[in-house]
Amino acid sequence: MKREETSLLGYAMLGILQQQPLSGYDLRKIFAATPLMAFSDSPGAIYPALERLEHGGLILGRIQKGPGLRQRRVFRLTAAGSGQLRRWLEKPISRDDIVRGADALLLRFSFMDAGLGRAHSARFLEALETELAAYLPTLREFLKSAQEGMPISGRLALESGVQGYESLLRWARRGQAVYRRELRGDAL
């Protein structure tokens, strides 16, 4: 498996910067204030990540000087950055995406309306539903075969994982309903 040329934190920053140009300090505040998708708000993570993105030509920082304002570098996406973000958003959902934590998928989805449009978001949820519905039976089978001779807490922990995916599946279905309602509203 090849290494991604951009880390998840990098994509998170690309997604946010696409919606509005911001400084590193602004990003820190956002990450510090957002309870879900816990990224680090430490400067040791953010500034080097910004530097990497800039060196890769994905973002461009310009110094903003207002009168009596501390020197800030405000970053905005370049065309290459938009392309990189779009390619990431467009990637098909793989089994591996689901097994290795759904967090990255949710992050992608959160930027999808702005990046690719609602119709694509709705299709993403369809694909997620399909993939989850195909994965869950194999998970349940594993659970059934593994739980013999396992202590209660071990069995319960596995069940928690299954139920987490079931909850995600329900969410994906509800989300599709939301988009159907919304897109119908748009058409009127």
Partner DNA sequence: AGGTTCATGTAACCCGTTACATGATTTC
Partner DNA sequence: GAAATCATGTAACGGGTTACATGAACCT
Residue numbers of the site for DNA (CB under 7 A)? 1-10, 23-26, 28, 40, 42-45, 47-52, 68-74
Q: Phi and psi of 23, rounded to 5°?
A: -90, 165
The residue within the footprint of its own copies, chosen from 66, 101, 137, 185 (CB under 8 A), is 101
99 contacts its own copies (rule: CB under 8 A): yes
Interface with its own copies in residues 5-44 (CB under 8 A): 34-38
136 contacts its own copies (rule: CB under 8 A): no
79 contacts which partner out of DNA, its own copies, none, CB within 5 to 8 A by kind? Answer: none
E strands, 42-91, are 59-64, 72-77
Residue 15: which of 62, 84, 93 has the closest Cα? 84
Interface with its own copies in residues 50-79 (CB under 8 A): none
- Using DSSP's 3-state secondary structure scheme, residue 37 falls into coil
Q: How far apart are CA 152 and CA 56, in angstroms?
A: 50
The residue within the footprint of its own copies, chosen from 113, 123, 126, 173 (CB under 8 A), is 113
111 contacts which partner out of its own copies, DNA, none, CB within 5 to 8 A by kind? Answer: its own copies
147 contacts which partner out of its own copies, DNA, none, CB within 5 to 8 A by kind? Answer: none
Residue 11: which of 49, 67, 44, 47 has the closest Cα? 49
159 contacts its own copies (rule: CB under 8 A): yes
45 contacts which partner out of DNA, its own copies, none, CB within 5 to 8 A by kind? Answer: DNA
- Using DSSP's 3-state secondary structure scheme, residue 71 falls into coil
Q: What interhelical angle do 8-19 and 79-90 show, nearest 10?
A: 120
Residue 83 or 142: which CB sits closer to its own copies? 142
Contacts of 80 (CB under 8 A, 6+ apart): 56, 57, 58
| Beta sheet of 72-77, edge-to-edge order | 22-23, 72-77, 59-64
* Interface ranges with its own copies (CB under 8 A): 34-38, 99-101, 103, 106-107, 109-114, 118, 121, 138-139, 142, 146, 151-154, 156-161, 163-164, 166-168, 170-171, 175, 178-179, 182
